[in-house]
Amino acid sequence: MEGRLARVDAADGTVRTRPFLVHPVPDWSGGGLDQRILARGQLVAHPDHPGQVAAMTRTGILSGEILLWDVTAPRRIGTLPSRAASVPFSTSYVTGPLAFDADGSHLAVQNTDGQVRVRDVGRHRPLPGGAPATGNDALIGLGPEHSVVLSVFGADMVRIHDPTDAAASGMLPVADGDWVASSLRSHRRHGHPAPDLRPAPRGAVPYAVGRRRA
């Protein structure tokens, strides 16, 4: 995303909102090839908020600026300050550094300092704690009670992390691979199969999640 956004009807391809500028086109002079490759724009829908999205341009990825837009108007609703976001380089990932919870009240952001932080969208502030995410770990989504669900790169494992209590976190082995194709919605993961993600008894792995090859 180079600074412009359009709204298109997925059923027939009709342009519902013509392209508009969400952020000035970044000036890449002197930025180097690494920044051009790694700073990829991001766009996620805002659950339970029809017509709203969170967007990060290439500039925003590097600065940590998250833009909230109503694309039906179009108008900018607000800006969430964060830190530089970490976009997994692996082309097999379909996930990105942004993930809302089920009702859109909280947003997880994967940062370049090796942490995933959860932000309260309405109050424009981060929650205490964070979840470690190194290298090409991929953010799958947010579970109940702001738990962060991550795919651990190269380990065939999914980590379910409680940002406020590391002792309540757990690891779940998954089969076969490098292809992350999952998202969380309410207490369930979309995909096949879709296990229940509600908290389990204390001492057990708190959530179940899977991934499958594309």
Q: Where are the domains of the chain?
A: 1-81, 84-214
* β-bridge mates for residue 17, sequence order: 7
In this prediction, residue 16 carries a pLDDT of: 94
Mean pLDDT of all residues in 72-76: 94
Kindly report, residue by residue over 16-37, the tens digit of the pLDDT.
Answer: 999 998 876 655 555 566 566 6
Percent of the chain with pLDDT over 70: 69
Average pLDDT over all residues of the chain = 77
**DSSP letters of 76-140?**
EEEEEE--PBPPP--TT----SEEE-TTSSEEEEEBTTSEEEEEETTTTEEPS--EE--TT-EEE
- 202: pLDDT confidence band, cut at 50, 70 and 90? very low
Spatial distance between the Cα atoms of 69 and 185, rounded to a whole number of angstroms: 21
Q: Please name the residues in contact with 83: beta carbons below 8 A apart, sequence gap of 6 or more.
A: 64, 109, 111, 112, 113, 117
Kindly report, residue by residue over 118-134, the tens digit of the pLDDT.
Answer: 999 999 899 998 999 98
Question: In Å, what is the CA distance from 62 to each residue of 6, 28, 91, 149, 208?
Answer: 23, 12, 20, 23, 33
In this prediction, residue 172 carries a pLDDT of: 84
Kindly report, residue by residue over 167-186, the tens digit of the pLDDT.
Answer: 778 888 877 655 554 545 54
